[in-house]
Amino acid sequence: MSEKVIIIGGSAAGPKTAAKVRRLSEDADITIIEKGKFLSMASCGYPYFVGGVFDNRNMLLCTPTGVLRDPTFYMNAKAIKAETETEVVAINRAEKTVSCKRTNGEEFVLSYDKLMISTGSIPRMPFKEGLELDGVTTLQSISDAEYLRKIRDEKKIRKAVIIGGGLIGIETAEALRLAGIEITIVEMADQVLPYLDWELAAHVEKHLKTKGVNVFTGMKVEKLIGENGVITAVKLGNGTEIPCELAVVAIGVLPNRELAEKAGLEIGAAGGIKVNSFLQTSDPDIYAAGDCIEINHIITQKQTYSPMGDLANLQGRIAAENMINGPEVKFSGTIQTAICRIFEYSAGATGCNEKAARAAGYDVETVIITGPDKPGFMNGLLLISKMVVDRKTGRLIGFQCTGPGDVSKQVAQAALAIKGGLTINDLRDLDLPYAPPFSLAVDNFIACAHAMENKLLGRMKGISAREVRKMKCDNTSKPFILDVRGPDEFEAMRLGIGEVLIPLGALRKRINELPADKNHEIITFCKISLRGYEAALILVSAGYTNVKVLEGGIMAWPFDREK
């Protein structure tokens, strides 16, 4: 007898489950039930359709060969029945049936042997007033993407507010700014892109501002204001009103768990449908995957919500294996790898940032470095990287990277290292591919590991730009700040915080110009702080006991600089 498999949800995890079930069993009776009109939507591509990277909306719905993934395709190519514009309104676990309702009002009931819930997510809406106004939208569906693309193409709207500075908010801001719309991002946290630590997120914010994007962090939206049913402004918690003709709510998403709750399935501590490592819910014949579930965080070993398209597809594949062959394949969890593009900039991270690692109880060491992704003669572009390591084991538990260089490569290398449990000792001589068109002889990722090794061994004491800035603003101490670049570099750009220029080549001869007190705090730096580190070693050898290196140098300084 063929296995009856019903899949609720036709976006990412659902179709992947269906396709894998068919590959494992030609006899299975498979049905996808999707509430909307479309199947297998590449929702992560919505901002790029809005921004004009491609013009044909159907590219979000097609196979690599250009075939539209509609019910006819699923039936002909995969022998999978797909019911679109049909909602599952109830699950009867005792009878193993689902009650369905089409948009035309027709109702019917289907039985199942195995059921998959992949109902996705719903937009987070922390405020209610004004959401009904024309000109207010999310970017959660194809219809949302079409609406924003029409706005871009018509070029009638001049001002828009993006509520939320996370992945979708940033990508939407870029898409609409490229259309010439004046953009303001409002983010409740004290930084954009919360998966980064502040030092790196500040560079993203700085880059956004160079592109004419206004950014308000640490600001809560109180309500949306309109006239005659049309949005006119966004009101912030401090009373400020930002005029606009469009507001995109991108504050994040919540697991769409209502159907599972009504069926009596267990909900987890992080708010998503609770599943085991086989992706079974509290009912062993009902599986769940995608944005509606919560999963294990591999580093913290706590449940977390991670609504990412790649994870949804991986989960769907594993759930299908277990549906057909019994629960034997485990989904290990997430290290929450993420990346986004911001005009010519990129920002990616994997594992725990410093804040999350400390909250999880780790005793961490961190380091920030800067440098090009390729040699200068190959037009290398800047990368700013931060590594987070567990002091106890030396294991890499987090990595972040921003800049116009090849961020994706760096984050991918780190993700593999974290998943593999590699330590700094493993990373310091990692054999990566090298040729000048692709990387430095010592890749940035390995260079970051070398800097971390120096810190762990006590060869370098680092200090962050934020700490130095706080010292100067609070007058908590008066360190001697030593710039060891060349005079031409100093004249072109400086921090403007009272630093003293003594080029590295002259330092040994001019060491008498430093404070006589060998315990006086000295902070050294250069463009990327490689010369700064060498200067620190010279000073330590000369008997100075409180020497720190400004990590990342002037290129990692996220504040204003003198020119």
* Residues identified as active-site: 44
CA 521 to chain centre: 37
| 46, 250 contact by CB (below 8 A) | no
Distance CA 235, CA 242 (A): 6
Structure tokens at 320: 């299908």
CB-CB neighbours of 101 under 10 Å: 15
Tokens 């630590």 label which residue? 197
Residue 8, beta-bridge partner list:
33, 117
Structure tokens at 192: 């954009």
Angle between helix axes 13-24 and 71-78 (nearest 10 degrees) is 20
User: Environment class of residue 511 by beta-carbon count within 10 Å: exposed (0-12), middle (13-18) or buried (19+)?
Assistant: middle
| 454, 460 contact by CB (below 8 A) | yes
DSSP 8-state code for residue 68: B
Q: How many CA atoms lie within 13 A of 94 on its CB side?
A: 1
Distance CA 71, CA 302 (A): 39
Q: Which of 175, 171, 177, 174 is nearest to 159 (CA)?
A: 177
DSSP 8-state code for residue 479: P
- Three-state SS across 355-371? HHHHHCCCCEEEEEEEE
